[in-house]
Structures are given as structure tokens and as C-alpha cells.
Amino acid sequence: MNIPSGWKHPEEVANVRRILVEGSAHGAPPAEMARKIKQTVGITEGQATALVRYEQALRDLDPTALDRELRNKRADGRVRAAIESGTPLSDDAVDTLVDDYRNNAVRHP
């Protein structure tokens, strides 16, 4: 498998492929797939899977989102309030929290 120049992990190619295949199968807009690809560059396939599960937990208001070691703990109050009230987090808030999680994953491989 040829890995594009600058990519650190062979898993990055697998992550991109998975995002494109799953996104296409579910009719995801290209901008959403591009955002997810950007979030997974530089992390392993396992970290990418954890990232996707974390994002889904935030969108589902699943309390297990607060158990993630790599989450941005400074946002726990906002996440907890959303869970308790049943009010979904905005897409921008979820994107920010997922970006924070990804950045923490890169720093803690």
C-alpha cells in the first residue's frame, strides 16, 4: 500500500477509506466527510474509532461521554447540563469537543 507523503501511520489510509465508504453508504455530505477525515489524520485506527464513538455519545447525550479520558474536562459542565436537560449540543459545540479529543489523542498515543 502506498502511503501519501507526510502521513505518519498506515492506519490513516484505512481511516480515510473507512470514512469515505461509510459516509457514501449513509449519504453523508462531502463537507462532513472532509471534516471527519481532517479529525482522523495523525491518529491510529483505534483512536479514530474511539473518536467516532465519542462524537456519537455527545450527539446522543450519552453520559458515557463524560467517562472518556481524553475529553476536554473543562467542558464537562456544559455536557452534563445538556445531558440532564435533554437539550442537544450544537453541531459547533460537538465539533469543538471532538477536535479537543482528537488533539488529546495525538498528544497521548
Q: What is the pTM of this model?
A: 0.73
Region label for 16, one of left (φ > 0), alpha (ψ between -120 and 50) or beta (otherwise): alpha
Q: State the cell numbers at 25.
A: 453508504
- Domain assignment present for 4: no
- Domain assignment present for 1: no
- Domain assignment present for 3: no
Reported confidence tier of residue 4, pLDDT bands at 50, 70, 90:
low
Task: Find the domain containing 94 and state its range.
Answer: 10-107
- Domain assignment present for 16: yes
The model's pLDDT over 37-91, given as tens digits with 9 standing for 90+, comes to: 877 777 777 888 898 899 999 999 999 999 999 999 999 999 999 999 999 999 9
The total of structural domains in the chain comes to 1
The model's pLDDT over 13-28, given as tens digits with 9 standing for 90+, comes to: 887 888 899 889 989 8
- Domain assignment present for 90: yes
Residue pair 64/35 in contact (Cβ under 8 Å)? The answer is no
Contacts of residue 23, Cβ cutoff 8 Å, sequence gap at least 6: 32, 33, 36
In this structure, how many other beta carbons lie within 10 angstroms of the beta carbon of residue 98?
21
Reported confidence tier of residue 5, pLDDT bands at 50, 70, 90:
low
Residue pair 58/89 in contact (Cβ under 8 Å)? The answer is yes
